[in-house]
Amino acid sequence: MNARWLRLDFAAYGLLGLPLAMAALPVYVHLPAFYALQLEVSLVQLGWVLFAARLFDTLQDPALGLLVDRLGQRVAPWLGAAAAVFGLAFAGMWFPPAGAAAAVAWLAAMLVLAYCAHSFLNIAYLAWGASLDGGASRTHALLGPAAWREGAGLAGIMLASAIPAAIMAGDADSVPAGMAWYSAGFALLLALALGALLQWAPAWQRNDSARAGDTPHWRQALDAMRRNRRFLRLLAPYFLNALSVSLPATLALFFIRDQLQAPDQAAGFLLAYFAAAVCGLPLWVRLAARIGTARAWRLGMLLAVTAFAGTSLLGPGDKLPYLLVCIGAGAALGADLALPPVLFAQTTKPGAGMGVHYSIYTLLGKLALACSGLTLPLLAAFGYRPGEGPSAALPALYAGLPCLFKLCALYAIWSLDEKDHP
């Protein structure tokens, strides 16, 4: 990474990415299993609660984005309050009251609180990074903080992949105590990262009208976003690319267990994937600074398709080829994480309704994640049964469909003018 990105203020900004990612994975992956297997909550009740909470989480983002725009540089106390709510709600999820009905109601309440707090923190965090302006070198001013943010996020994902899984694999009676320690560690990291952001990160830059408190009404903000053609042209490729990433993420454990028949190797494959992303991320940042952000992202998409294209041909025992797939696709993931937020930031001016803009960005990512869940009933319709071995439908949905979405995203972004998206 270039020396101009090895700045302590950029690191102070990026550190918050670690706890935000550290809490997200257990909520999506481990929490449903905890309530279903250890608390014996019915899958029907659990499914409807999770669906309703995630739908609420998706739809609330534009309102939170407008709130972020209205607060501007007064956002600091709100960030502190949101972090406190997030920490308490995350811990509370693992300590429901006795009884299935009470546990379901408790889970719904904790999810709503956690999703509200996390979404507010995330939208404000992205808007803060997008506000940075280095004058003629604004791309460099955006790439540095983005690299630190996504690198810290990947470190948080690796922590969340290893520690909760180990806790859940232990004795059932020790799970609440183990998750209590994990929650305490998460809360401490969240407090330290937020303190670093507020104390040492580059200041949130606002334009003159924003500093004067002239924040537009929500209709005006949405209308301004509608007129931002550069921003709108990025929405389709970003959503298609998000689908191409979320689909294999949803089906990876099924593919490893049934198609490769290597469930004991799952942790190693996931670790290789995320480690490759960590190693590749600074290289993508440097490449984007040299050839342009949009061009670098296109190359990342090509690498992902190249690495993933042959996955549908793999079968039982193909561990080494799949490990190479994980390394190649993980390296491409670094581009998917670091570059799209920078491209979106390049379509706006500092303070120009960035909260609303980034609320649509986060909404599309959540919508892609929700849509990826539809592959599970689709697999069932094609006759796939978990634990019964290889299936023709599984590699098609795990590898074939994501490659198709990735190629569509590549086609959609290929026409972008590099002058508009440097």
* CATH number of the structural domain spanning residue 382: 1.20.1250.20
Given a contact cutoff of 8 angstroms between Cβ atoms, the answer to whether 264 and 314 are in contact is no
Count Cβ atoms within 10 A of the Cβ of residue 313 and give its class: 0-12 exposed, 13-18 middle, 19 or more buried: exposed
- For residue 312, being part of any structural domain is answered with yes
Last-in-domain residue among 184, 215, 246? 215
Count Cβ atoms within 10 A of the Cβ of residue 241 and give its class: 0-12 exposed, 13-18 middle, 19 or more buried: buried
Residues 12 and 139 in one domain: yes
- For residue 328, being part of any structural domain is answered with yes
Tokens of 205: 């830059």
User: So what's the pLDDT on residue 352?
Assistant: 56
User: So what's the pLDDT on residue 138?
Assistant: 59
Residues 194 and 317 in one domain: no
Residues 162 and 77 in one domain: yes
CA 72, 73, 77, 82: dihedral to nearest 10 degrees?
40
Last-in-domain residue among 165, 181, 215? 215
What sign results for the dihedral spanned by CA atoms 321, 322, 325, 331? negative
Residues 119 and 164 in one domain: yes
User: So what's the pLDDT on residue 136?
Assistant: 44
Residues 49 and 110 in one domain: yes
User: So what's the pLDDT on residue 4?
Assistant: 53
Helices (H), 36-137: 43-59, 61-71, 76-93, 100-130
Stated as kind and residue range, the H or E segment containing 350 is none
Residues 163 and 262 in one domain: no
Separation between Cα atoms, residue 196 and residue 193, nearest integer Å: 5
Other C-beta atoms lying within 10 Å of the C-beta of residue 191: 15
User: So what's the pLDDT on residue 350?
Assistant: 61
- For residue 320, being part of any structural domain is answered with yes
Residues 163 and 205 in one domain: yes
The closest of 44, 55, 33 to 253, measured between CA atoms, is 33
Other C-beta atoms lying within 10 Å of the C-beta of residue 269: 21
- For residue 221, being part of any structural domain is answered with no
Residues 241 and 383 in one domain: yes
- For residue 220, being part of any structural domain is answered with no
Low-confidence ranges of the chain (pLDDT < 70): 1-6, 37, 43, 133-140, 169, 206-221, 350-353, 415-422
User: So what's the pLDDT on residue 296?
Assistant: 94
Last-in-domain residue among 189, 215, 241? 215
- For residue 366, being part of any structural domain is answered with yes
- For residue 418, being part of any structural domain is answered with yes
Residues 259 and 171 in one domain: no
Residues 194 and 299 in one domain: no
User: So what's the pLDDT on residue 371?
Assistant: 81
What lies within 8 Å, CB to CB, of 174 at 6+ separation is 167
- For residue 222, being part of any structural domain is answered with no
Backbone φ/ψ region at 101: left (φ over 0), alpha (ψ -120 to 50), beta: alpha
| Structural domain count, the chain | 2
Residues 324 and 372 in one domain: yes
121-133 burial string, b = 16+ CB within 10 Å, else e? Answer: bbbbbbbbbbbbb
User: So what's the pLDDT on residue 1?
Assistant: 46
Query: Which residue segment(s) compose the domain that 86 sits in?
Result: 1-215
User: So what's the pLDDT on residue 217?
Assistant: 57
Per DSSP, the three-state class of 244 is helix
Residues 242 and 384 in one domain: yes
